[in-house]
Structure 1
Amino acid sequence: MHLFREGDKDAFEHIYKHFNKRVFFYVRQYLSSITEAQDITSECFFRLWEKKAEFPSLDAVGAFLHVAARNLCFNYLKHAKMAREKEGELLSLLNMPDDNGFKLEELRMQLLNLIAAEVDKLPSKMKKIFLLSYEEGLKPAQIAERLGLQVQTVKNQRLNAVKLIKAALADHPSLLALLLLLESKSPVFG
């Protein structure tokens, strides 16, 4: 624990191996999507690393991961519920005759402009990883090789970029619902 608190990556890896499956299976009790469960599991460990100096024991780490997983699942399910509530409204908008296509295109443009503005605000390494992943369609291993990073670093940076963008969209529920609807049809942000 002392090495972990000091930032030793091997100690972190030991803790990760000790708790990873446990956290993942706990999250899967709440989420049907394996991808979302993996993302939330990764986020739990990212948060653990950020607070590494605060843990006196392995039991404290386990308790933290449990609470973090529960809270992240709750937040995910809350946003998913909001998206489902908006989905009917958006589906009717998507299925309206062409005379309403302008409104839909305007909503899409607002969404794209907001995403572009948020991507521009990302730290440079995170922005580069995000763009390589979503514009060029590279896998985390390919990005890691190109940038000389660890695959887990790429995954964490990509996850954080998506989180920041989704958080920015939280103030725009219609746009967030459109994003989640489009995401469910074509997993751009998965």
Structure 2
Amino acid sequence: MSQGDEQAFAWIYEKTYPSLYYYVKRFVEEEQARDIVADCYIKLLRAPKKFDHLAHCSAYIKAIARNACIDLLQRRNREIHTLQQLALLQNEQQEVTNQHYELEALVYKKILDEIEQLPAFTKKIFKLSYLEGLNNTEIGALLNIRDQTVRNKKAEALKKLRLKLAEMSRFLHLLKFFLKF
């Protein structure tokens, strides 16, 4: 850039900066306005044009600034839309998760209810094994019964529970199907 070009640029900058800055600031925040205006002058420096008067130069720089504001606002709108979509998806996922936990709670309660319906001795063996985690030998020693009796009672309990829960399983499949909609 020659000395004359630098002086011309400095003069244009001095004459157009305040009005350009306040024009841009109407559309974007202060920091973004400063950045956009600075970019406008950089573009003017990189692609110098010959202008007949200051009004033409001012209109050219203003057009660059207007387009930069439009681009920024469109990007911001896309980001906001994306964030809104993400929030909707997260809310939907939370609803699905809540429904899943509600179904789990329903199934767990149904299992506990069905365990309570078992004959007393079978129920006691089942609870010692599956809820308290004792093995067959420990249960046999605790109740003073043979290991085979523990196995038979556990198998009896599981068979009864499976039959009862099979009915509920069909209901749950239908419920899950309708919850997807």
Q: Same fold (TM over 0.5)?
A: no
Higher RCO (C-alpha under 8 Å, 6+ residues apart): 1
